[in-house]
Amino acid sequence: MTLPTRQIGPLTVSAIGLGCMNICHVYGTPPSEQDAGALLNRALDLGVTFLDTAAIYGLGQSERLIQRHVMHRKAEFTLASKCVMDAPDGKTRVLDGSPTAITATLDRALQRLGTDHIDLYYLHRPDRNVPIEESVGALKQAVQAGKIGAIGLSEMGAGLIRRAHAVHPIAAVQSEYSPTVRNPEVAVLDTCRELGIGFVAFSPVARGLLAASVRDDRFEQHDIRHTMPRFIGENLAHNLAVVAKFEALALEAACTPAQLALAWVLAQGDDIVPIPGTRSIAHLEENVAAAAITLAPDVLDEVATLFAGTIRGARYAAFAQATVDTELLPDEELA
């Protein structure tokens, strides 16, 4: 199966990719290894050519699953992973953007993935203790050594993007972007377009909020949404009332809510590639089908208007919020 393609810097990828965080942790009980492998292979069969993982996902388990189940099909996909957020001892999570830490994380990733080259390698978060120029400098050396093909940034604002791009061309900037999370529209998308950088949208269905899978805050014990203010208590009750109107729009548009969210993100520019994650093959197939949906201009406008300043609660708990570049946080999330 063939999907439409889009350009991320020098890389040509499917218009919808696959985020590989869900296959090992974060949203409650992860799938079995067999199910994770089946999901990865089904994504490739459906024409997905962009897999996105990170050192911190499952403390390296996501990278290991990719190695065990689809690296024999590497010619079929572009592989992205990330550094800075890592667990060097396999247990304790750290945020370290120093060149020494970046080099060590990359070498461990290459070993876990069973390869000598990663197509796109991101700085997962800014390290406020290390100048961005030093972190990008380490990745520039990795490009020169042939260990990575292109450099990306995640959850960084326009100022850091420009500083990083001055050291080495940045291929992609990744941040949360969906009808409910519009922070990149403030300056990031314009900066990326000015500099010729692709934009990768993670959580494009708002961590399930726009996929008809969140109805209350009774999440599983290890589900990260327990810690996210917009998914808890009165905030969630308010947000679900707004989402109900979104689901009505999806019904009118003859698609599922998740497909409406993904089609909306895709329509914001042909330089944007959403990477929804899932543990379900059925949801994967539903997501991929959104690449064929074209929304009428009035529907796009209705979605944008519906979520203009209406979602309550910060994106992250305070400890996680502190790792995001403040340029990407609206005033109410800085309080």
**Is 230 within a domain?**
no
**Euclidean distance between CA atoms 17 and 287, whole angstroms:** 10
Residue 334: what pLDDT? 38
- Total Cβ atoms within 10 A of residue 192: 25
**Is 9 within a domain?**
yes
Active-site residue (options: 57, 122, 177, 316)? 57
**Is 36 within a domain?**
yes
Query: How far is residue 75 from each of residues 23, 27, 33, 246, 276, measured CA to CA in Å?
Result: 21, 30, 22, 39, 22
Short-list 261, 253, 263, CA closest to 180: 261
Residue 329: what pLDDT? 64
Residue 221: what pLDDT? 86
**Is 159 within a domain?**
yes
**Euclidean distance between CA atoms 335 and 331, whole angstroms:** 7
**Euclidean distance between CA atoms 184 and 182, whole angstroms:** 6
Residue 330: what pLDDT? 57
pLDDT tens series, the chain, 335 aa: 789 999 999 999 999 999 999 999 788 888 999 999 999 999 999 999 999 999 999 999 999 999 999 999 999 999 999 999 999 998 899 999 999 999 999 999 999 999 999 999 999 999 999 999 999 999 999 999 999 999 999 999 999 999 999 999 999 999 999 999 999 999 999 999 999 999 999 999 999 999 999 999 999 988 999 999 999 999 999 999 999 999 999 999 999 999 999 999 999 999 999 999 999 999 999 999 999 999 999 999 999 999 999 999 999 888 788 888 777 765 444 33
Residue 316: what pLDDT? 87
Q: In CATH, what number is assigned to the domain containing residue 107?
A: 3.20.20.100
**Euclidean distance between CA atoms 312 and 30, whole angstroms:** 28
- How many domains does the structure of the chain reveal? 1
**Is 313 within a domain?**
no
**Is 239 within a domain?**
no
Residue 320: what pLDDT? 80
Residue 335: what pLDDT? 31
Residue span of the structural domain in which 141 resides: 5-214+258-294
End-to-end CA distance of the chain: 47
Residue 264: what pLDDT? 98
- Total Cβ atoms within 10 A of residue 2: 8
**Is 139 within a domain?**
yes
Residue 183 one-letter amino acid: N
Residue 222: what pLDDT? 86
Residue 258 · residue 283 · CB < 8 Å = yes
Residue 316 annotated among the catalytic residues of the structure: no
* pLDDT tens sequence across 6-22: 999 999 999 999 999 99
Residue identified by tokens 């326009």 is 158
Per DSSP, which regions of 135-258 are E strands? 148-154, 170-176, 198-202
* pLDDT tens sequence across 226-245: 999 999 999 999 999 999 99
Residue 333 · residue 193 · CB < 8 Å = no
Residue 332: what pLDDT? 45
**Is 332 within a domain?**
no
11 by Cβ neighbours in 10 Å (0-12 / 13-18 / 19+) ranks as buried
Residue identified by tokens 């388990």 is 61
